[in-house]
Amino acid sequence: MAILNISWSLATLLFSCIALVVTSHTFPPKFFNVVRYGAIGDGTTDNSQAFVKAWKDACAYKGRSRVWIPNGRFLLSSVSFEGSCNGSMAFLLKGSLVAPTDPSSFTDTWIAFRYVSALAVKGGGSLDGQGHSAWHLNDCQSNPHCKPLPVTLRFDFVRNSRVQNIESVNSKSSHFNVFACENLTISHVKLSAPADSPNTDGIHIGSSRSVTITNSLIGTGDDCVSMVSGSQDIKVNDVVCGPGHGISIGSLGRGHEREYVEDITVANCTFIASENGVRIKTWSPSSYSKASNLVFENIIMKNSKNPVVIDQYYCPSPHCYMQVTKIQFLFLIKFKLIIYLYIGKIKLGCANRRCDI
Ligand SMILES: *[C@@H]1O[C@H](CO)[C@@H](O)[C@H](O)[C@H]1NC(C)=O
Ligand SMILES: *[C@@H]1O[C@H](CO)[C@@H](O)[C@H](O)[C@H]1NC(C)=O
Ligand SMILES: *[C@@H]1O[C@H](CO)[C@@H](O)[C@H](O)[C@H]1NC(C)=O
């Protein structure tokens, strides 16, 4: 009898396993149209509640969910789309999202995706950060306690996901900020802001691994792509940068702990009229940090003022002193086949003997 009982429970267990496999395939993809949740694409109604409701329902659904944003101009105040979710998520943006002009209505973020896996953000639509209304409030060059302006799109703790075929214009601060992400691919995006707009980085990456940026056009007022502490296994391939400050690694060494950046490949990129090409910068003074296995290959520069900059005395504000700490960065950099169509100055700010290039 005991034996029978055991085999019966085994059979039940087996059956429930099968049932689990079957059900995850039987949920069809489902669309969650924000208009059904009350969103109005007239450019003036604030739609954040409707968007968050649509996201929550999509997130609870066990199959493949698609949050659908049709054509129209959808005004959206600060929102956070959070997981974890019960199935894979797509944020399908056909229309455009418009940020409020008043920066006091924000934290440091306009739109955030947090703690989500298997997310796709795509659809050919656009994000309008309305930066013109806020850039004049950026006083970070002179005010050490300045309030940061909001980032257009933040990815925090996002894994196994992709962002493709969307456009972002006139971000108030960075266009995309990638933090604590793993296996994220960003492709076919177009990010733009005027050359003189302050701190409008294209894509800023920190504490993340396995991030690929490919087939994209980035022209802004600050870095095209910047990679700071904890960036590991980052590939930037087939990206056109300019105007802007180029692709930069760092600034490193501002924190007190060891900072590292490793396994970075920048390949097949073109810089057009950018202030810099590739740049590595460490704060002055800086704590011990490590930047290793950095590869730059097949880089074309057209009218870039400083094609290669290695700056160990980086200090954008008037409050630092020109001192390089004793333990220096370890650079292991390979520059392969850099083609300058216009040769500018190569600036090397290496300290003493430890700058091994
Ligand atoms: C996932 O599904 C369960 C069961 O239907 C539900 O209780 C839970 O709230 C869902 N999770 C999310 C994040 O919505
Ligand atoms: C990385 O993410 C993609 C989805 O964008 C997924 O198909 C792939 O399996 C993931 N890779 C790993 C190693 O998890
Ligand atoms: C750069 O482009 C060449 C030619 O298309 C390709 O073979 C190579 O793999 C690319 N490099 C990287 C690192 O993707």
Return all residues near 86 (Cβ < 8 A) that are at least 6 apart: 59, 60, 61, 62
Query: Domain total for the chain?
Result: 2
Question: Is residue 131 over pLDDT 70?
Answer: yes
Specify the CATH number for the domain of residue 201: 2.160.20.10
289-293: average pLDDT: 76
pLDDT bracket for residue 2 (50, 70, 90) = very low
Domain that holds residue 292: 223-357
Q: Does some domain include residue 263?
A: yes
Alpha helices in 70-202 (DSSP H): none
Residue 204 falls inside a structural domain: yes
Within-domain flag for 22: no
Quick check: CB of 162 below 6 Å from ligand 2? yes
Mean per-residue pLDDT over the chain, rounded: 82
In angstroms, what is the span from residue 248 Cα to ligand 3's centroid? 20
Q: What is the pLDDT of residues 152-171, one digit of tens each?
A: 999 999 999 999 999 999 99
Q: Whose CA is nearest to atom 12 of ligand 1?
A: 60
Q: Are 139 and 231 within one domain?
A: no
Ligand number, closest to the Cα atom of 86: 1
* 18 found inside a domain: no
Task: Find the 234 Cα to ligand 2 centroid distance in Å.
Answer: 15
Over residues 314-322, the mean pLDDT reads 56
Question: Is the pLDDT score of 341 beyond 60?
Answer: no
301 pLDDT band (50/70/90 cuts)? confident
Same domain, 195 and 50: yes
Q: Give distance in angstroms: CA of 90 to centre of ligand 1.
A: 17
Statement to judge: residues 83 and 160 lie in one domain: yes
Is the CB of 88 inside a 6 Å radius of any atom of ligand 2?
no
Inside any domain, residue 113: yes
Judged against a pLDDT cut of 80, whether residue 133 lies above it is answered with yes
| Distance, CA of 193 to CA of 243 (rounded, Å) | 9
**By the 8 A CB rule, do 154 and 109 touch?**
yes
pLDDT of 128 over the 50 cut: yes
- Please report the pLDDT score of residue 292 as a whole number: 79
Ligand nearest to the CA of residue 265, numbered in listed order: 3
pLDDT at 14 over 70: no
- Asked, for residue 324, whether it belongs to a domain, the answer is yes
- Does 333 or 209 have the greater pLDDT score? 209
This prediction's pTM? 0.85
Residue 185: pLDDT band (50, 70, 90) is: very high
pLDDT digits (tens, 9 = 90+) for 222-264: 999 999 989 999 999 999 998 988 898 877 766 656 678 889 9
The confidence band for 39, taking pLDDT boundaries of 50, 70 and 90, is very high
Would you give the DSSP letter of residue 51? H
Whether residues 283 and 205 share a domain: the answer is no
Q: State whether 303 and 357 are in the same domain.
A: yes
Residues 55, 129: one domain? yes
Q: How much is the pLDDT for 262?
A: 87
Ligand closest to Cα of 298 equals 3
Give me the mean pLDDT over the 166-182 stretch.
Answer: 97
How many other β-carbons are positioned within 10 Å of the β-carbon of residue 238? Answer: 14
Query: Are 238 and 139 in the same domain?
Result: no
Look at residue 11 and tell me if it is in a domain.
Answer: no
- Picking from 185, 209, 233, the residue at the C-terminal end of a domain is 209
pLDDT tens digits, residue range 82-121? 999 999 999 999 999 999 998 677 789 999 999 999 999 9
Q: Which of 127, 203, 192 is nearest to 166 (CA)?
A: 127
312: in domain: yes
| Pick from 203-207, 318-322, 348-352: least confident | 348-352
Ligand 3 touching residue 265 (CB < 6 A): yes
Q: What is the band of 283 on the pLDDT scale with cuts at 50, 70, 90?
A: low
User: How much is the average pLDDT of 135-154?
Assistant: 86
What residues flank ligand 1, with Cβ below 6 Å?
59-60, 85-86
Tokens of residue 45, six digits? 């109604």
pLDDT at 300: 84
**pLDDT of the residue at 255:** 61
Give the whole-angstrom CA distance, residue 92 versus residue 90: 6
Mark whether 189 and 257 lie in a shared domain. Answer: no
Write out the catalytic residue numbers: 245
204 and 65 housed in the same domain:
yes
Give yes or no: residues 61 and 171 share one domain. yes
Q: Is residue 167 located within the same domain as residue 286?
A: no
Q: Which of 183, 209, 235 is the last residue of a domain?
A: 209
Q: Are 276 and 314 in contact (CB under 8 A)?
A: no
- Pocket mutation for ligand 2, best pick of 88, 113, 160 (most atoms within 8 Å of C-beta): 160
Where is the domain boundary, 209, 242, 267? 209
Considering the domain architecture, whether residues 281 and 325 belong to the same structural domain is answered as yes
* Beta carbons of 67 and 88 less than 8 angstroms apart: no
Distance 162 CA to ligand 1 centre (A): 23
In the reported structure, the alpha carbon of residue 80 is separated from the centroid of ligand 2 by a whole-number distance in angstroms of 23
